[in-house]
Amino acid sequence: MVRSTWNRRIYISALSNAAAICRQEYGYLVWGVNNETHEVLGTKFNYRADVKGEPLGHYLARQLKPDIVFSFHEVDFDNKRVVLLEIPGAKNVLTFFDGMRYIRIGSSKVSVAKYPDREAHLFEVLSNKEKTIDSIESEYQDLTFERLFTYYAGRGISLKF
C-alpha cells in the first residue's frame, strides 16, 4: 500500500502547469534515478498499489481538474526498475490537484497563487496571448500589395498572380 500522504501527488499539478509554461507537451516524474547524479538506482515504488482504499491511478485522476490523461511507464535499465509518470501539460486552464494549483520553481513545487506574476504568465500562455511571430502586430499598418511587390522586387523575387 502506498502511504495515504503520497508526497509526490501534487507534483502532477506542478509539472502539468510547468510544462505549459515551457510550451512542452508533457512533464515527467521519475522514480529510480538520483536527482543530482542521474545515476540509475532502481525503485520499489508500486504505482499499482492502493491509496486510501482505491487504486493510485484512480485516486490521482479523481483529484485532478481538469481531467488529464496521465500514464505510468515501467522500464528495466541495467537490471534496475525505473518508473516514469508522464503528465500532459495544461492546455486551456491550469491543472488543479485537490482544489489547489501548483507550479515548479526550480526543484520546488509551490502554490502558484503565491506567485501572481508567474500565475499571470501561465494564464497568458494558456490563452495564447503570449506574443509570438503570429500575434505580434506589425509596426507598418499601411501594408499594400504595392509595398509587397516592391519588397520582393528588391530581393530579386517576382510575384505572379
pLDDT digit string, tens, across residues 31-83: 999 988 999 999 999 999 988 889 999 999 999 999 999 999 999 999 999 99
- Output the nine-digit C-alpha cell for 70: 496521465
- pLDDT of 46 reads 93
Q: Rounded to an integer, what is the distance from CA 65 to the centroid of its chain?
A: 14
- What does the alpha-carbon distance between residue 109 and residue 124 come to, in Å, rounded to a whole number? 20
Mean pLDDT for 119-138 is: 78
**pLDDT over 70 (residue 133):** no
**pLDDT over 80 (residue 2):** no
Whether residue 112 contacts residue 17, with contact meaning beta carbons closer than 8 Å, is answered with yes
Mean pLDDT for 133-148 is: 74
Nearest one of 22, 83, 43, 88 to 61, comparing CA atoms: 88
Nearest one of 2, 5, 17, 30 to 125, comparing CA atoms: 17
Output the CA–CA distances (angstroms, integers) from residue 90 to 96, 100, 120, 132, in the order listed.
10, 14, 14, 19
* H helix intervals, 10-115: 11-21, 56-63
Please, which pLDDT band fits residue 5 given cuts at 50, 70 and 90? very low
Q: Which of 4-18, 43-57, 142-156 has the lowest mean pLDDT?
A: 4-18
| Identity of the residue numbered 50 | D
Mean pLDDT for 100-129 is: 89
pTM assigned to the model: 0.72
The half-sphere exposure of 142 on its side-chain side, counting CA atoms within 13 A, is 0
- pLDDT of 45 reads 93
- pLDDT of 129 reads 63
Highest mean pLDDT among 4-13, 75-84, 150-159: 75-84
Q: What is the 3-state secondary structure (H, E, C) of 93-147?
A: CCCEECCEEEEEECCEEEEHHHCHHHHHHHHHHHCCCCCCCCCCCCCCCCCCHHH
Whether residue 82 contacts residue 28, with contact meaning beta carbons closer than 8 Å, is answered with no
